[in-house]
Chain A
């Protein structure tokens, strides 16, 4: 019904009023939104069906549980990789630095011990965009590499930007521990 749709839109807007938040991202991911800021009718209807929401109340309660959706590592990986597509300009291949940093700060919060260092490093680097490959592999890095970088393998086929990050980070870690 027209009513229902308006209400749903409100609910969506209110959840998205927190702006660029993790919930907004997860929601978009579940809906399969392709273009940031725009939801197609199909995405909307199919998405809500997939979430099992046929009423505004159900939607509201569902939204508050979005965390669960990304609990499992495989699910999170899928979600994380999705955010790259979501955050970048539709026509572009790569993601601009500003958008990348903004997105990382939300999705990797609490999951990457060196997130702050990484953001500092990226901000002062002369690269102006992030490739999909680097984006994806950052998650691998965050999840598998120790805080002290002890298990980082220079010959481990990491993207060059991450190699450079490790090179930049190592002396900083060593000075702070010694």
Chain B
């Protein structure tokens, strides 16, 4: 069957050549064209659809099995007749669509986000090769490939998030040692996928979140690698998005300097007045990052929680120092970020009744630190009391407590009774004195999904994106109307869409919605003569 197909192909080419030769010999040269035409029509056109779609030897088969040469042969053949290439191109499109669908359907499992994006990249690369080796860089095929990949990207609403997670994975330290060149190549490929995304603003939001985490937790490979990626994005979508990102880097650098100054000042102070050591809060080794509100993805309202006294004093001391230089600014602690190294003594009770003290350093989040420090005051706590004492938002508190008590076995620093995975008011927590670990420094993971958001979180993000979009659409409308003074409805919609296209695709109804809102707020008014024309009110 496949052999038959290839043979048909070469036979056809052979036959065509034969007839052309024969025609040249026996007939007037003017007959060559028509005769070749007849042969082509008979051999190719009539049968091409069948040949292209043949199950075990058609285009799809060849694509699936990487038969680049055979495809090239067929391409050459079909190029001779009208509709030949579009026939082949359509078959290719169908195949890509199929591949895409399989991919999208299989990504149900969250831990597969990286694999999902990688498969997409691999698929694109395969077709880049086909384009080059089999389809002679034919523009029609090129465009068809692009449009199919665009569809695949935009069918899956999580594409923007997943793409950002993929890049996040590549940008983190300890990443299977990709060489600089390899990393560059992968990032360029991701840019191609980025271009296909319709919802670029959603990608931006996730990218910002993930970048912030990398910077704050010191997990980036290097500043240069990050900046390189950002400049690639800048080339694609302008600097509106990227300048905020650059602000984040600035903050980190300035923070490092401020930190150093603070520490040296503390050292000097504690050297001078040893009698008043208590006042400088120097029992805590503090490292501070100062974030400028506009640049970082921070929650809108202030989060408060009760810090342990020592931490509170350390922070106060820093605040005083900082505000001396930057008078007029407001510093707010962000307890949902940040981490702490806590010294812990566990009183192991051996079988014979002997008690030894095991020391560890626990690397925990700020919230976890607040919780743990409570146990210096009291041996057991009921959950509802911890809620009151710590003042930590309950969702975060539960997460912190669960990760300390019923998470991974090597991290069970606290005991919980009952041992269930959910928490109610009267559940009791106490220190797990029998805690042991081979490591001196024990890192406690918060049960944070590093791979993707939970669905409720996704909805929240989506809501924020929709709100932002409303503003962007309005801004676009006002900008256009201010310039034009008067504009017809459909033309306005087209222009607004064009203006926003590089960030997201606004639906005509969402634009209409904003127009109506602007009319209600008397920024726009309908022309008295024509309902379809809007006028700008200064």
Contacts and interface: CB of A to CB of B under 8 A. Distances in A.
Given A155-B490, A157-B489, A131 B532 contact: no
Interface residues of A, number: 15
Contacts of A133: 516, 519-520, 526
A156 interface: yes
Nearest to B520: A131
Interface in B464-516: 489-490, 508-509, 512-513, 516
A163 B531 CA distance: 15
Interface in A124-165: 131-134, 137, 140, 155-160, 163
Given A131-B520, A133-B520, A156 B513 contact: no
Contacts of A132: 520
A5 interface: no
Nearest to B513: A160
Contacts of A156: 489, 531-532
Nearest to A93: B520
A104 to B, nearest CB: 19
Contacts, number: 33
Given A155-B489, A155-B490, A160 B531 contact: no
Contacts of B520: 93-94, 131-133
B512 A160 contact: yes
Contacts of A158: 531
Contacts of B490: 155, 157
Contacts of A137: 531
Nearest to A133: B519
B489 A131 contact: no
Contacts of A163: 509
B532 A157 contact: yes
A94 B532 CA distance: 22
A164 B3 CA distance: 59
A160 B519 contact: no
A93 B512 CA distance: 20
A160 B532 contact: no
A157 B509 CA distance: 10
Contacts of A159: 516
Nearest to A132: B520
B453 to A, nearest CB: 29
Nearest to B509: A160
Contacts of A157: 489-490, 512, 526, 531-532, 534
A80 to B, nearest CB: 14
Contacts of A131: 516, 519-520
Contacts of B519: 131, 133
A140 B527 CA distance: 13
Contacts of B512: 157, 160
A87 B483 CA distance: 36
Most chain B CB within a 10 A radius of its CB, from A93, A140, A157, A163: A157
Interface of A: 93-94, 131-134, 137, 140, 155-160, 163
Given A94-B520, A156-B531, A160-B516, 8 more contacts: A133-B516, A133-B526, A155-B508, A157-B526, A157-B534, A159-B516, A160-B512, A160-B513
The 6 closest A-B pairs by CB, nearest first: A157-B489, A157-B532, A133-B519, A131-B520, A155-B490, A160-B512
22 contacts: A94-B520, A131-B516, A131-B519, A133-B520, A133-B526, A134-B516, A140-B531, A155-B489, A155-B490, A155-B508, A156-B489, A157-B489, A157-B512, A157-B526, A157-B531, A157-B532, A157-B534, A159-B516, A160-B509, A160-B512, A160-B513, A163-B509
